[in-house]
Every structure is written in C-alpha cells, then in structure tokens.
C-alpha cells in the first residue's frame, strides 16, 4: 500500500522563519523523521513569489517534496477566503491521485512513534479517520451540530474517496456560503456578527465535511491512545505515549524545544501565552 504524509499552507511570509507556523513545521518534520525516514512527505505552499528560501529551509529533509501551487477560486468568490477553506483538501486529493493512502497533518503536530502504525491499524478504505469533538453552549444555536465534528488538523484518507473529490470540495463551500447567508439575515450586534463570521471562516470550514462524512457513513475516530489533541491530555508528558499529537498553534510556547522557540519573536510568544479562545456567544 503506497502512502504519504501531507502538509499544506495557504498563507506564508516571504521568509519562513518569520512565520511561527513554518517554525512549527520544522519541528513536526524533525519528530517525524526521528521515527520514519522513508515515508514520502509533501509540503504544499500556495501563492508565494520566492520559492528559493523555502527550498533552502526544507530542502535537506529526506524524501520531502515542496509543491508550490497557485490557487484560482471560482469566479465571484474572495480568493483568500476560498483558499482558506479549500487548500487542505485540494492538496490531499492531488496526492491521492498518486498514493493509495494519505495522512494529513497540520504544522502544529508532533510524532512520538512511526506513523506507519496508523496506516496499518486504521485500514478501512471506506472511512476517513480523524479526531472528533463536541462543541456546546450558544455555539450550537448557530451551527446546529449535534454530533462529533472532525478536527481536520489530522486525518487519514484513502483513494477510495477520489470518486467523491468534488463532493468533498463542494460540501465545504456550500456549507460555509449557506451559513454566511444565514448570518447576514440575522439581527445581531456588530461584535456578534464579527465573532460568528470568524467561526464560519475557521471552525465552519470543517463542518460541511463532517456532515458529508456522516452521510457517507465514513466518519471514524482515531483512538486517543494513538492520536490526541492538546485538550485530551492531563499533562504534556502524556503525549509521549502517542503516535501523533496535535497541540494547537496557540500552545506552541508550551511544546516547542528551545531550538525552535528561539526562532519565534518574543511578541508572538507573549501573544500566544495571553490568547483567549472564544468558544461561545449569545445569538
């Protein structure tokens, strides 16, 4: 079974070391190569002018290919908005044209074992393996989700779903555009509008796919003994028993070794330490 790992970026600065996300990528790749030096890795980067500096930073990593792409959104839709929704799945489906099985991971992930074990253990080709979460409170009054929602910071998918490629891409677009229309018709304060709109841009992008997976009977979770989110752990030490750990990029100051943390500006570290995640509002 041919397999690959994919990372994808839609917004990057000219210098990758100016970007905490790219610093986190370097750490993620190092932890991966500590346990597996052979599995092909593809890093997709969209809409950058200077490719050379990225090749200099990542070019010495074994079996890694940088794939620079330009995204052209459907006519009449905001380019950056649509790319934010689309890039992960566009990258994954391109890779599935070449490989039978793809593990997608965000940059804010660490490996603590050989990822081959995930491909072996989670082997049903008709399932998309991910992590799920319930989001409660006023959040659900708008999104109306009463099932687990996928966290698409890590998922494993097989070429069985190539036949559904356009359905996957349309599911995200249609869901988010429908929610935006719904929001535009609501009588809410400007602050509530801003908050909800932000959630549509970020979390809402995952919900269309989640609902589609349920329709296809394809939603399947990793065991949290193998793959876990930051919120699943009692302490950071627990992550060392995992295969893959997704720590969320606002926790990088708790996770990154000094060799990577030293590359990130003090201002960004201070902001991460003081960030407040807003999970609910009144609607």
Per-residue pLDDT of the chain (283 residues; tens, 9 = 90+): 699 999 998 766 666 667 888 899 999 999 999 999 999 999 999 888 788 888 888 888 999 999 998 876 655 455 555 566 678 999 999 999 999 999 999 999 999 999 999 999 999 999 999 998 766 556 667 777 778 889 889 999 999 999 999 999 888 888 888 888 888 999 989 988 888 887 777 776 678 899 999 999 999 999 999 999 988 888 889 999 999 999 988 889 889 999 999 988 888 888 888 765 544 445 4
> For position 281, what pLDDT does the model report?
45
Are the C-beta atoms of 237 and 200 separated by less than 8 Å? no
What CA–CA distance (Å, rounded) separates 105 from 91? 12
Domains, the chain, ranges and CATH? 3-273 (3.90.550.10)
What CA–CA distance (Å, rounded) separates 87 from 12? 13
What CA–CA distance (Å, rounded) separates 171 from 174? 5
> For position 31, what pLDDT does the model report?
97
- Contact partners, residue 188, CB within 8 Å, separation at least 6: 196, 283
DSSP state of 121: H
> For position 76, what pLDDT does the model report?
47
Q: What is the pTM assigned to this prediction?
A: 0.91
94 closest CA partner among 22, 30, 35, 7? 7
In terms of DSSP H, where are the helices of 97-250? 116-121, 139-143, 165-184, 190-201, 204-215
Bridge-partner residues for 104, per DSSP? Answer: 6, 155
Locate 73 and state its tokens.
């959104």
Are the C-beta atoms of 96 and 122 separated by less than 8 Å? no
Bridge-partner residues for 41, per DSSP? Answer: 5, 64
Rg (CA), the chain: 19
Are the C-beta atoms of 244 and 109 separated by less than 8 Å? yes
């Amino acid at each position: 079974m041919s397999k690959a790992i994919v990372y994808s970026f839609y917004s990057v600065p000219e210098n990758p070391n100016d970007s905490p996300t790219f610093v986190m990528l370097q750490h993620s790749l190092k932890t991966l190569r500590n346990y597996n030096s052979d599995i092909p890795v593809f890093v997709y980067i969209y809409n950058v002018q200077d490719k050379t500096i990225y090749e200099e930073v990542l070019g010495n990593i074994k079996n890694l290919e940088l794939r620079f792409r330009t995204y052209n959104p459907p006519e009449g839709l905001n380019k950056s908005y649509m790319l934010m929704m689309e890039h992960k799945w566009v990258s994954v489906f391109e890779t599935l044209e070449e490989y039978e099985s793809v593990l997608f991971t965000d940059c804010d992930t660490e490996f603590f074992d050989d990822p081959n074990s995930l491909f072996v253990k989670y082997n049903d080709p008709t399932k998309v393996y991910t992590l799920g979460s319930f989001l409660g409170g006023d959040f659900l009054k708008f999104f109306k989700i009463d099932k687990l929602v996928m966290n698409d910071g890590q998922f494993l998918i097989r070429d069985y779903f190539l036949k559904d490629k356009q359905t996957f891409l349309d599911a995200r677009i249609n869901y988010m555009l429908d929610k935006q229309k719904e929001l535009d018709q609501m009588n809410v304060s400007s602050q509530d509008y801003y908050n909800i709109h932000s959630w549509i841009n970020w979390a809402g992008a995952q919900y269309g796919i989640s609902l589609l997976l349920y329709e296809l009977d394809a939603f399947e979770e990793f065991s949290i003994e193998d793959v876990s989110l930051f919120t699943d752990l009692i302490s950071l030490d627990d992550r060392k028993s995992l295969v893959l750990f997704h720590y969320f990029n606002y926790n990088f100051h708790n996770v990154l070794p000094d060799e990577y943390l030293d590359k990130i500006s003090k201002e960004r570290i201070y902001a991460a330490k003081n960030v407040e995640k807003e999970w609910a509002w009144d609607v």
